[in-house]
Homo-oligomer: A and B are copies of this chain.
Amino acid sequence: MSEAVNLAGRARVVEELWSPRIVARLNDYEIKVARIEGEFVWHAHPETDEAFLVLEGHMRIELRDGRVELAPGDLYVVPRGVEHRPVAETECRIALFEPRGTVNTGNAGGPRTVEARDWA
Contacts and interface: CB of A to CB of B under 8 A. Distances in A.
A77 interface: yes
A49 B27 contact: yes
A8 interface: yes
Contacts of A65: 1
Interface in A12-41: 23-27, 29, 31
A101 interface: no
Contact of A6 (B6, B8, B63, B73): B73
A98 B75 CA distance: 15
A100 to B, nearest CB: 12
17 contacts: A1-B63, A1-B66, A1-B68, A2-B76, A4-B75, A4-B76, A6-B71, A7-B53, A24-B75, A24-B77, A26-B49, A26-B77, A26-B98, A27-B99, A29-B97, A31-B75, A31-B77
